Chain A
Amino acid sequence: MTTPANNLVYERPEAFTETPTHYCPGCTHGVAHRLVAEVLEEMNITDKTIGVAPVGCAVFAYNYFDVDFVEAPHGRAPAMATGVKRVLPDRVVFTYQGDGDLASIGMGEIVHAAARGENLTVIFINNANFGMTGGQMAPTTLPGMKTSSSQNGRDVETQGYPIKVSEMLSTLEGVGYCVRRSLHDPKNIRLAKKAIRTAFETQVRGLGFSMVELLSTCPTNWGMTPVNSLKFVEEHMIPAYPLGDYKISDAIKQIKI
């Protein structure tokens, strides 16, 4: 079959390396990676982007993006990104963090990076558990949700309520752009891509801290098929974590993509 260039509709982004990801089949980490890679490619900033990888499932993110990367200690990606951005202010610096990394051990770093209004972009993957270590309860685990460390379901009387990171960070002055999106269907994936693009545009224009929270799946630790875990996101996670724009500063509203 001939494949002339003008027939091409979609191909793997060039901002990806050739390495296959280590993620479980159907994990939407891969979708989030792909969206970031597509946005970096569209904005033509791959040669001046520095990513900061977290600890968690995305710990090997540096193997998959064809951009410069550093690996931060657990939860400290915003602190490390602050240093990188202050030393090299002309670079685009983003962190890619999961909920165990960002909302648990790294809560102090993310809150203070946002409060300082550091000119960073944070991609926050919320899949309601600690994926890499075996699905333990995370700060974002839903009430009643069974995990390997809350086997009768999360009991809010003893284990507390989930932390809604986007809502919390949107109250801080230094935050320019803070939205929550989901990766459970094609429409929401496209909306998520647009949000990631806006977040990077925010940083390029120096308009403050930008974060995109992405509701994600963890089929292996949730004990579901990939398709059923997308339904779980739609039926259980979105009611608990409503999608929406939590803070968009006036200057960012003017950005036309």
Chain B
Amino acid sequence: MAAKGWIEVSDTYCKGCELCISACPQDVMELNMSRLTPKGYHPAHTFKDGCTGCAICAVVCPDAAITVYREVTKVNTPVTA
């Protein structure tokens, strides 16, 4: 099963440049046209399920506006040889 993740986009920093949207491998991001940030930009958000928490949006984000989380499904136990 694909990993499940989610992101939080900061209204303080997001400038709606759309770089994360074009970089997202799952194509689950878009600008939220129903909201404006205090600076007057439409912030990016995820509009459907499918985020895997790969953090590529955060890698390309010029304003470090994105915090990425990934659901922990199981506790990794170290493999002993």
Q: Is the CB of A13 within 8 A of B59?
A: no
The answer, among B18, B19, B61, B69, for a CB contact under 8 Å with A9, is: B69
For the residues of B in contact with A, the DSSP-based class is loop
Q: Are A29 and B62 in touch, CB under 8 angstroms? A: yes
- B60 and A189 form a contact (CB under 8 A): yes
Q: Count chain B residues whose beta carbon lies closer than 8 angstroms to a beta carbon of A.
A: 32
Instruction: Please encode chain A, from 1 to 43, with 1 for each CB lying within 8 Å of some chain B CB and 0 for all others.
Output: 1011011111111001010110111111111001001000000
Contact A30 B64, CB 8 Å, known A6-B72, A7-B69, A186-B23: yes
Whether A10 contacts B41 in the complex (CB less than 8 A), given A26-B62, A28-B62, A31-B62, comes out as no
A contact residues around B13 at 8 Å (CB): 12, 20-21
* Chain A nearest CB, measured from B53 CB (Å): 5
How many pairs of A and B residues are in contact by the CB < 8 Å rule? Answer: 87
Residues of the A chain whose Cβ atoms lie less than 8 Å from the Cβ of B68? 8-11
Number of residues in A with C-beta < 8 Å to the partner?
Answer: 35
Residues of chain A with a CB closer than 8 A to B10's CB? 12
A10 near B22: Cβ-Cβ < 8 Å: no
Contact between chains at A225 and B59 (CB < 8 Å): no
Instruction: Say whether, besides A16-B64, A189-B60, A26 and B70 are in contact (CB < 8 Å).
Output: no
Alpha-carbon gap, A7 to B75, bound state (A): 11
Known contacts: A6-B72, A8-B69, A26-B15. The answer to whether A185 contacts B23 by CB under 8 A is: yes
A236 at the binding interface (Cβ < 8 Å): no
In this assembly, does B29 line the interface, its C-beta being within 8 Å of a C-beta of chain A?
no
Q: Are B60 and A31 in contact (CB under 8 A)?
A: yes
A230 neighbours in B (Cβ, 8 Å): 19, 22
Minimum CB–CB distance from A163 to chain B (whole Å) comes to 26
A9 CA to B66 CA, complexed, in Å: 11
Contacts of B16 in A (CB 8 A): 25
Complex CA gap A12/B59 in Å reads 11
A185: which B residues are within 8 A, CB to CB? 23, 60
Chain A residues contacting B56 (CB-CB under 8 Å) are 186
Q: Does A190 contact B (CB under 8 A)?
A: yes
One of A7, A11, A12 near B71 (C-beta < 8 A): A7
Give the docked Cα–Cα distance between A8 and B8 (Å): 11
Closest partner residue, chain A, to B69 (CB atom): A7
Of the candidates B15, B60, B63, the one whose C-beta lies within 8 Å of that of A186 is B60
Binding site for B on A (CB under 8 A): 1, 3-4, 6-13, 16, 18, 20-21, 23-31, 34, 37, 185-186, 189-190, 219, 225-227, 230
Kindly list 12 other residue pairs between chains A and B, CB separation below 8 angstroms, not including A24-B15, A227-B22: A4-B72, A8-B68, A10-B59, A20-B39, A23-B63, A25-B17, A25-B41, A25-B62, A27-B62, A186-B23, A186-B60, A230-B22
